[in-house]
Chains A and B, each alone.
Chain A
Amino acid sequence: MGHSRGVPGPRGQSDKGDRKGHDAMAPESHPYRDVVVAGVFNTAQARRLPGHTSASITVEAVHGALADAGLGLDDVDGVSAADLSARLIHDLRLGPAWRGTQYGLGMIAEAALAISAGMCDVAVVASGEAGIHTDRAATAPWTRPENEFVIPWGLFTAAEFALVARRHMIEYGTTEDQMATVAATIRNNGHANPEAVYHGRGPYTPADIRASRPIAEPFHLLDCAMTSEGGCALVLTRADRARDLRATPVYLLGMAADSYGPAYQHPPAYDLAGRTARDADDRAGTVGRRAADRAFRTARLGRTDVDVLELYDPFSFEVIRQLEAFGFCAPGEGGPFVADGHIAPDGKYPATTDGGLMSYSHAGSNPQMLQRAIRAVQQVRGTCASTQIPGARVALASAGGSGALFNQVALFGTERP
């Protein structure tokens, strides 16, 4: 997949960013240009973290991210930590403080907007889960179906995403081999990553993926994310404080999110469409399409400006789906696109370079959605211990997926937008 890296294309040029129907304007002044991501940190990640609670591992992540930024708890006046926000404000004695309410990548955009709007100056965005996964006989406990119209049918995360993947196979001829290529690529990134839970477990070929035991067809065990524990945090602050900071400041260039409804309550039908669908490709199977268009518009960037894709990888298929939904290839072309090596570390769009949810960590329900963003920040800083993409200046991170009826997209870079 030889191609030249580190030669930036002309900025702001649209390639696939101007698909029809996108009539909203980019904001006049960039919403996050006065905000920087100043610190990031992942705690140790493991299948289990004995002795830790969700709060203790989250606080460890907060300390780590503040140290990375060169700041301390005394500097913090904003906290976003999902259901731990209020407790951390109280127990770390951070009040009075701004309190975030979002989840996943939305936490980062919400904190950046709060700083832009003058609601706080230094916000920690943190999440951690530990001591929760005690029921080892069961699959991902945070995504169990919870209503009477899904639970008796044995629906769970892998089956949800499999129902979407099956439609993609029917409509476009996507193959298990193409999905296995995704899993092998990402797992090999984790194999090379000393911080990954499954460091050294590879290398894998697509045939190895397909030889693993079936879970929910078309997915085999190695097509699926793991379950694990861990914490992570980011620190955001005003750009004019950058001289106080230790690390290269990173900017949030754009962020947007799409939802088609509650996760794990309705069958995830590929063709579920809303009343504002612009065309046949506006449906739950392409969730994230609108979000990506909007994130790129805010960033004033095109797809070819992106150097690395930290795609959320709950299942191999979901990477194929997001490449299409986000406009890196046309609908239906995701399978051949990955088979051609585009997402390999030396490909045009290296993907999920730390090993992702499959091999790095799938920490709880919320932390793992932030970890794609942390890796994106590390990539544009140029500080990744493994699979650093040379000259990476713009990185995309995503979270959520079709089986859960939502998708979030964020763009990070070192150039002030």
Chain B
Amino acid sequence: MLEPQTGVPLNPVTPLTAPFWDGCAEGELRYQRCTACGTANFTPTDLCRGCTSRELEWRVSAGLGTVYSWTVVHRPVTPSFTTPYAVAIVDLDEGYRMLTNLIGVEADAVREGMRVRVDLHGVGGERVLPYFRPQFP
């Protein structure tokens, strides 16, 4: 069964990205929605990727999505990762996409189009990471 990591490398939070990480710490998966054109933006940005507007507001995602692609990693990027782990691209129902790791599923049971839901886990320090697990285990 794939599990969350502990002690993974983390890059510094920036003023632009702080609302996202603050949301994770508060149990919310946040993204930016453009009030001009409605595009859901992720990763955090200062310009809407749909229309270049700066009118972006933070919203809370329902945290539900589908697996677009994934890879089960057996040789980690650095020894701080425990293998195997599953890197995945998940399409959120709000219309944006994020990179994540899948947990709560056997590595060989992951499928394209699998429904998943967010599952927040602390990984050391104050950082809480959004993992995804099968929506209907």
User: In this complex, what residue of B is CB-closest to A145?
Assistant: B77
> A221–B73 Cα gap in the complex (Å)?
12
Contact check: which of B68, B73, B98, B127 meets A159 at CB < 8 Å?
Answer: B73
The reply to whether A154 and B123 form a contact with Cβ atoms under 8 Å apart is no
Main secondary structure of the interface of B (DSSP, over half): loop
Query: In B1-50, which residues have CB < 8 Å from any A CB?
Result: 5, 8-14, 17, 21, 43
User: In this complex, what residue of B is CB-closest to A139?
Assistant: B77
Whether, in the assembled complex, A240 has its beta carbon less than 8 Å from a beta carbon of chain B, the answer is no
The reply to whether B68 and A269 form a contact with Cβ atoms under 8 Å apart is yes
The reply to whether A163 and B89 form a contact with Cβ atoms under 8 Å apart is yes
The reply to whether B75 and A269 form a contact with Cβ atoms under 8 Å apart is no
Known A147-B11, A148-B17: A166·B98 in contact at CB below 8 Å: no
> A167–B112 Cα gap in the complex (Å)?
9
Which residues does chain A contribute within 8 Å of B78, judged by CB atoms?
137-138
Which residues does chain B contribute within 8 Å of A152, judged by CB atoms?
5, 8-10, 123, 127, 129
> A273–B12 Cα gap in the complex (Å)?
29
Whether, in the assembled complex, A215 has its beta carbon less than 8 Å from a beta carbon of chain B, the answer is yes
Whether, in the assembled complex, A170 has its beta carbon less than 8 Å from a beta carbon of chain B, the answer is yes
User: In this complex, what residue of B is CB-closest to A148?
Assistant: B11
Known A153-B100, A154-B85, A216-B74: A137·B69 in contact at CB below 8 Å: no
> A137–B78 Cα gap in the complex (Å)?
7
Whether, in the assembled complex, B81 has its beta carbon less than 8 Å from a beta carbon of chain A, the answer is yes
Distance in Å: Cβ of B108 to nearest Cβ of chain A: 9
Whether, in the assembled complex, A149 has its beta carbon less than 8 Å from a beta carbon of chain B, the answer is yes
Whether, in the assembled complex, B58 has its beta carbon less than 8 Å from a beta carbon of chain A, the answer is no
Interface size class for chain B?
A: 35 or more
Of A162, A166, A170, most buried by chain B (CB within 10 Å of CB) is A166
Query: In B75-109, which residues have CB < 8 Å from any A CB?
Result: 75-79, 81, 85, 87, 89, 97-101
Known A137-B78, A153-B99, A155-B99: A267·B112 in contact at CB below 8 Å: no
Which residues does chain A contribute within 8 Å of B9, judged by CB atoms?
151-152
Distance in Å: Cβ of B49 to nearest Cβ of chain A: 10
* Proximity bits, A124-148, B CB within 8 Å = 1, else 0: 0000000000000111000011111
Which residues does chain A contribute within 8 Å of B76, judged by CB atoms?
154
The reply to whether A155 and B87 form a contact with Cβ atoms under 8 Å apart is yes
Which residues does chain B contribute within 8 Å of A170, judged by CB atoms?
69, 112
Of A146, A153, A215, most buried by chain B (CB within 10 Å of CB) is A153
Which residues does chain B contribute within 8 Å of A208, judged by CB atoms?
none
Which residues does chain A contribute within 8 Å of B85, judged by CB atoms?
154
Which residues does chain B contribute within 8 Å of A11, judged by CB atoms?
none
Whether, in the assembled complex, A217 has its beta carbon less than 8 Å from a beta carbon of chain B, the answer is yes
Whether, in the assembled complex, B71 has its beta carbon less than 8 Å from a beta carbon of chain A, the answer is yes
Known A147-B11, A152-B8, A216-B75: A266·B87 in contact at CB below 8 Å: no
> A163–B72 Cα gap in the complex (Å)?
10
> A159–B43 Cα gap in the complex (Å)?
19
> A311–B12 Cα gap in the complex (Å)?
37
Whether, in the assembled complex, A360 has its beta carbon less than 8 Å from a beta carbon of chain B, the answer is no
> A139–B79 Cα gap in the complex (Å)?
10
The reply to whether A267 and B129 form a contact with Cβ atoms under 8 Å apart is no
The reply to whether A144 and B77 form a contact with Cβ atoms under 8 Å apart is yes
Known A138-B78, A144-B77, A148-B13: A167·B98 in contact at CB below 8 Å: no
Which residues does chain B contribute within 8 Å of A216, judged by CB atoms?
71-75, 87
> A215–B84 Cα gap in the complex (Å)?
10
Contact check: which of B12, B72, B101 meets A153 at CB < 8 Å?
Answer: B101
> A226–B109 Cα gap in the complex (Å)?
30
* Proximity bits, A266-292, B CB within 8 Å = 1, else 0: 110110000000000000000000000
Known A266-B43, A267-B89, A269-B69: A149·B99 in contact at CB below 8 Å: yes
Query: In B104-137, which residues have CB < 8 Å from any A CB?
Result: 112, 123, 127, 129
The reply to whether B75 and A215 form a contact with Cβ atoms under 8 Å apart is yes
5 A-B pairs (CB sep. < 8 Å): A137-B78, A147-B43, A153-B101, A213-B74, A214-B72
Given contacts A152-B123, A153-B99, 9 further A-B pairs with CB under 8 A are: A154-B81, A155-B87, A163-B69, A163-B87, A213-B74, A215-B75, A216-B72, A266-B99, A270-B69
* B interface residues, Cβ below 8 angstroms from A: 5, 8-14, 17, 21, 43, 68-79, 81, 85, 87, 89, 97-101, 112, 123, 127, 129
* A interface residues, Cβ below 8 angstroms from B: 137-139, 144-156, 158-159, 162-164, 166-167, 170, 213-218, 221, 266-267, 269-270
> 6 tightest A-B contacts by CB?
A162-B71, A156-B77, A148-B11, A267-B99, A214-B74, A217-B72
